[in-house]
């Protein structure tokens, strides 16, 4: 998402962003929603790692970080929109 965002903000591409990530750009007018009646099918996010026995500690720490960050971001978004 962060790698593509400068291209989108420059008007050179479109992308789908989670609402919690796009809202600040909608608020300041740098982005506007398009294709609002269309939705991607729901999917999952997968973090594939070696088995716990073979997994380096830093990979486990990264997985824990992603879980905490994504869980809190989703909770914040749900609280703000529901």
Q: Angle at which helices 19-27 and 57-81 pack, to 10 degrees?
A: 60
Could you tell me the pTM of the whole model?
A: 0.48
Q: Residue 82 and residue 79: Cα distance in Å, rounded?
A: 6
pLDDT single digits (tens) 56-71: 999 989 988 988 888 8
Q: Which of 2, 31, 26, 28 is nearest to 14 (CA)?
A: 31
The answer on 68 and 54 residing in a single domain is yes
Q: Which segment of 21-25, 54-58, 72-76 scores lowest on mean pLDDT?
A: 72-76
Q: What pLDDT is attached to residue 13? A: 92
The answer on 49 and 35 residing in a single domain is no
The answer on 53 and 22 residing in a single domain is no
User: How much is the mean pLDDT over the chain?
Assistant: 86
The answer on 29 and 52 residing in a single domain is no
Q: What pLDDT is attached to residue 4? A: 85
The answer on 53 and 31 residing in a single domain is no
Q: What pLDDT is attached to residue 18? A: 82
The answer on 35 and 51 residing in a single domain is no
Q: Which domain holds residue 73?
A: 44-82
């Amino acid at each position: 998402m962060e790698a593509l965002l400068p291209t989108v903000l420059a008007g050179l591409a479109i992308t789908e962003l989670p609402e919690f990530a796009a809202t600040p750009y909608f608020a300041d007018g740098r982005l506007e929603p398009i294709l609002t009646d269309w939705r991607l099918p729901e999917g999952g996010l997968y973090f594939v790692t070696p088995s716990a026995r073979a997994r380096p500690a830093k990979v486990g720490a990264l997985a824990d970080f992603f879980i905490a960050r994504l869980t809190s971001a989703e909770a914040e978004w749900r609280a703000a929109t529901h």
